Structure 1
Amino acid sequence: MALYQQFSNALSASLIDSSKIILALSGGMDSRVLLRLLAIYAKQHPTRQCLAVHIHHGLSDNAERWLADCQRWASEEGITFAAERVQLSLSDRESVEKAARDARYHALGQYVEADDVLLTGQHLDDQAETFLLALKRGSGPKGLSSMAEDMAWGKGRLVRPLLTTSQSAIASFAQQEKLEWVVDESNEDTRFDRNFLRHQVLPILNHRWPSFAHAVHRSARLCAQQETLLHEMLRPELDAMLGALGGLSISALTPLSAVKRDYLLRLWLELLSVALPSERQLQVLWQEVACAQDDANPELKLTSGSIRRFDGQLYWVTHSQDVSGSSQCWDLSSKLPLPDDLGMLRVISATQPATMTLNRSALTAPVTVTFNPEGLSAHPQGRRGSRKMKKLYQEYRIPSWQRRRLPILMANEKVVAVANLFVDKAFYGSDCELIWDK
């Protein structure tokens, strides 16, 4: 069974022993075929944990029936099933397609843990549609790379096992296996750009050039290879431009050509998982934020956050929760998850003093972690005298929006350390080192 072998090979390249497989099960033909392939795989690998997740958008009058169908099919195939109901909140400039896609992937992300693999059913014809949509938007090589067969996604990986398979081959398999599937009536609505391409444009192109979809996939792959090469060449240069708190040096970018500077800015934002700005937004970013007057406090607002300038560096500032009221007890023996996706704190053994090494024997009281510097003072190791935390943050050049998001270790109402910044003189030593994994 050629399609199953392709499916198995795609999984084998991404799975490790601890990986769980999560299938995004819409109930359409493509995901229904994936469900059958996953069932075959699960029987051959009985120790592998597999889960099918259906996202209920509530956009169709048939949504409840689709959920019931997906649950029944998963049960028949012997695959554990889960469903998530989502509500869409549409902005004035956002399409229903994008809102539904974003809500769907956000819901799926809740099931994907470290090293897990998320399966989605995009195929060769979907790739051609994605490429043409990127072309319509005037995208460069990054956008024209379209969809990857295997990519890092959230805490795990996203794998598209059918991406090199035509829809007709998938349909043949579905019919051969006598499968049932959901038919979404909205897929016929050509007011949506993707449906317009699917029903009115691609049939003409495929009739004229039967290998058109394969050629598009090849072009997308070449664009992706070009992007990978540029990343490999420019990532070390970008890393050298970044400060300890993630700020990007404006002075390092200034002498570069506009083409190279814009690419480095895009790469910086991409590594931060930020939706890439348009060409016009990049111009605004450089001219009105990076090159603003020294006494200005410029800001470029984007969908999920904003870009701000401080002390000669550009910073990405996400829309975030106020964590200044948070307080957590910590015994230092295991990793401590921080609120609002601020990462983890951990302590490792140390053999010599360093910036963030502690004297464990000085920690005679329970340690707590807080984020509110108000009213606190500290005496950083290597500096003279004690200072108010507000003053220290100014001296350490901490941007104002980060000053209540830095983890502060406390013991007996005294500051032990501020993660990645300093250890108080009274608690400094060489026993162990404080690490903040962001």
Structure 2
Amino acid sequence: MIEKSSLTEQISAPQLLSLLEQAILPLYQMSVVKGESSPKLVLAYSGGVDSEVLACGLSALAHKHPHIACLLIHVHHGLSANADIWVQHCITRANHYQLPVQIERVKVEKGPRQSLEAQARDARYQAFDRYLNPGDILLTAHHQDDQLETLLLALKRGQGPKGLAAMGAIQAYKQAWLVRPLLDISRDQIEQFAAQKQLSHIEDESNQDDSFDRNFLRLDIIPRLKQRWPSIATTAGRSAALCAEQQQVIDDEVSHRLPEWLIVPGDTNALMTESTGFKLTGFGQLSAAWQALLFRGYLIYCGVNLPSQAQLQQILSQLLAAKDDANISIQWGDYQVKRFAGIAYVVSHKELDAIDASAVQQQFEQLLKGELQQTVCRVGHKQCQIGLQIATDNTPLLALPNNTVVSIRFGAAGSIKCQPQFATSQRQKARELKKLWQECNIPPWRRPQIPLVFYGDTLVAAVGLWVDKRYLAQTGDQGICIPLLNTR
């Protein structure tokens, strides 16, 4: 075991190999025990000095442990005129290390208000993802000075303990692992090792462009900090580790408390919603800190990009302060939070896309003409299979139109009346559509996505929800089977 204090001096090849073994072998063995077939090591290989040193160490590990498969992946971003030269360098060096290499070409497009750095990073990781199987280990060459940069950027953005925890040495990454074996090694140590071993590496000219935040810190700020406080990268790493510990405690407690606030798809109160819901009853009695932690935990659970702190406070304020019947819609990025029946839902803009009524109308007409045996309608986020059948006592079918004009509509006036077959004996009369939506617990943003079947100007069915009892096919007659997705 290498003590961290010994890493303040120049590192040797045996020390580098030992670092890799300590970080990698336990995870590798864990994957083997779990039954993942042939887990492999995947190195994010830029050809810069950091990844060159890590590739050198990985070569030694592969030689000592030949049963472990290794792969270098170099991503060609196309952002530099030297990109093709870097590809050749990486192929040459990989051959020198006797390690397989894969070149991935990606296209980086900077969108409005997007960082080129962030776009390039996302493109890289998407490329790595294509090669990662469950249990595989992705290696990156982040080091101690990178950790200091990450911590300073988190301070600049005003992030909390999670952001200040910066990068973890070992962390779960999707179904694989992400390992940063050099996180306790300084940039100086890496450069000394490369010089000692005469490792050839590339120099990315963009690293001298201080218009990028990281380069500004690396070139101008961190050297001055180190001149005043030589051990600042080490102490900052210690602070990041302490923040990570505290964040883990918070995450564990949020994970313990969160389930009691969730409504998952399929629950009675979550009908016709694609997203998991968040209960608001009693939520206002919690402290402001726990409100923020739990709702942020809910958004993470749903897998959406988190809003800023200011946006989160606005969301919580509107959810808790607005009247029960208020139509709340708070947007950020590609998402928005809505509220219905005391439950908050996060939905993506894509989920709210309008459905092409003409396409559904055409399929329905083809079905009635016998040109289709059955057709599939989208009802919210679900699929409903429609076809012609013979009615039985246990299967409510919509009667055939008998030369009446049939139309499919998405959205109708709330005053239109219908008498669903699920209505109780106390409700012999037709009810307004707006009341039926409420009775079926359909959120307002889902209602325009439910196909409504009209015979002439009469609403006779809501696909997936009900058939008007006055338009049910008689037993033994042919009718239109509209499966009811709303279990009552």
**Which residue of the other structure, out of 298, 306, 322, is the alignment partner of 1:276?**
306
Identity over aligned residues, as a percent?
37
Q: CA offsets, 1:146-171, max 9 Å, x none?
A: 11111122221211111111111111
The answer to whether structure 1 residue 42 and structure 2 residue 47 are counterparts is no
Give the structure 1 partner of residue 292 of structure 2. Answer: 262
Q: Does 1:135 align with 2:155?
A: yes
Separation in 1, partners of 2:220, 2:330: 39
Contact 2:278 2:343 in 1 (8 A): yes
Tell me the equivalent position of 2:278.
248
**Where do 1:189-200 residues align within 5 Å?**
189-200=209-220
Structure 1 unaligned segments of length 5 or more: list them: 326-367, 378-383, 425-438
For structure 2, list consecutive stretches of 5 or more residues without a partner in the other structure. 1-13, 266-275, 357-375, 389-393, 399-409, 411-419, 423-435, 451-463, 465-479
Letter in 1 for 2:293: Y
Aligned residues: 366
1:220-261 Cα shifts (integer Å, max 9, x gaps) = 111111111111222221111111222111224221111110
Give the 4+ runs in structure 1 shifted more than 6 A: 390-396, 413-418
Contact 1:241–1:252 (CA under 8 A) maintained in structure 2: no
**Cα offset for 1:268?**
2.1
Counterpart of 1:161 in 2: which secondary structure? coil
**Are the structure 2 counterparts of residues 272 and 171 from structure 1 closer, same or farther at C-alpha, using a change threshold of 3 Å?**
farther
**Shift in Å, 1:130:** 0.7
- SS at the partner of 1:254? helix
DSSP-derived class of the 1:372 partner:
strand
Normalised TM-score (structure 2): 0.67
Cα 1:398–1:180, aligned 2, differ >3 Å: closer, same or farther?
Answer: farther
The answer on whether the counterparts of 2:284 and 2:320 sit within 8 Å (CA) in structure 1 is: no
Question: Equivalent of 1:30, from 29, 37, 50?
Answer: 50
CA apart distance, 1:106? 2.1
Per-residue deviation at 1:374? 6.3
Determine the C-alpha separation between the residues in 2 that align with 1:387 and 1:314: 35
2 CA distance for matches of 1:319 and 1:158? Answer: 31
Q: Which residue of 2 is the match for residue 302 of structure 1?
A: 332
> Is residue 97 from structure 1 mapped to residue 95 from structure 2 by the alignment?
no
The answer as to whether partners of 2:23 and 2:179 remain within 8 angstroms in 1 is: yes
TM-score (norm 1): 0.74
Spell out, residue by residue over 1:252-294, the C-alpha distance to the aligned partner (whole angstroms, 9 max, x if none): 4221111110111222223344333211111221233564444
The structure having more radius of gyration, on CA atoms, is: 2
Matched with 1:14 is 27
Instruction: Report the alpha carbon displacement of residue 387 of structure 1 after superposing the two structures with TM.
Output: 8.6
Root mean square deviation, CA, Å: 3.4
Q: Taking structure 1 as reference, are residues 41 and 278 closer, same or farther at Cα in structure 2, changes over 3 Å only? A: same
Matching of residue 116 in structure 1 with residue 146 in structure 2:
no
Q: 2:256 matched to 1:224?
A: no
CA contact (8 A) 1:129 1:197 kept: yes
User: More deviation in 124-133 or 177-186?
Assistant: 177-186
Within-5 A mapping of 1:290-369? 291-318=321-348
Deviation at 1:76, TM superposition (A): 2.4
Call closer, same or farther: CA 1:306–1:14 in 2, change over 3 Å.
farther
Q: Which of 149, 157, 171 pairs up with 2:191? A: 171
Name 1:185's counterpart in structure 2: 205
Report the counterpart of residue 271 of structure 2 in structure 1.
none
In structure 1, what is the Cα distance between the partners aligned to 2:259 and 2:90? Answer: 46
Of 155, 180, 194 in structure 2, the residue corresponding to residue 160 of structure 1 is: 180
**293-302 vs 19-28, which deviates more?**
293-302
Tell me, in whole angstroms, the C-alpha distance in 1 between the residues paired with 2:187 and 2:172: 25
Deviates more, 1:250-259 or 1:281-290: 281-290
1:83 and 2:103 matched: yes
Q: Distance in 1 between matches of 2:329 and 2:387?
A: 30
Partner amino acid, structure 1, of 2:126: H
Paired residue type of 2:48: G
